[in-house]
Amino acid sequence: MKIKIYPFFLIFVFLIIFFVFYKGLKNSNIYTPNVQAQIDIPEFQAINFENNKTINSNDIFFKDKFYLLNIWASWCVPCREEHRFLMNLKKEKLIDIIGLNYKDNHLNAKKFLDELKSPYKIILKDSDGTIAIDWGAYGVPETFLIYDKKIVKKIIGPIDENSILEIKEILK
């Protein structure tokens, strides 16, 4: 009698384990941030990349105007890939692009811009990453489309052709 119960018990335990793993695989624990919410931009003070003077965000972003805030770094490979799209957007003069240089060495960032040219109207330093955290960024590159001092769209990762089309559609 003992010998007949053992295989059934083993099969029962196997089925329970299989069921638990099957349910676990169907459950996604990946956090997906809300990138569609319109929230007010944070107020902050930063150091201007060009002249090392402190500048307030209220002196950069004005109401009734579109801006693109791009968080970038010279050590970021995807930032290099997206750079040509930002340069093309600058040439079209549709929007002011503000750069936020994230946790970067000033000389390396300067070399990056000397090599690829700057698409930015203003570049701000974020040496310790606190400004990017206030914006809700958790990596580079990240880009925020701003209108009327509100975040209209958040682009996680490098800007590409599709992102540019979305931005242009919103600007219309």
- DSSP letter at 139 equals S
For residues 113 and 109, give the distance between their C-alpha atoms in angstroms, rounded to a whole number.
Answer: 6
What are the Cα distances from residue 11, in Å, to 25, 59, 158, 171? Answer: 21, 70, 50, 62
Q: Where are the domains of the chain?
A: 39-171
The CATH code of domain 39-171 reads: 3.40.30.10
- Predicted confidence pLDDT, tens digits, the chain (172 residues): 556 777 788 888 888 888 888 877 766 555 455 545 578 899 999 999 999 999 999 999 998 899 999 999 999 999 999 999 999 999 999 899 999 999 999 999 999 999 999 999 999 999 999 999 999 998 899 999 999 999 999 999 999 999 999 999 998 8
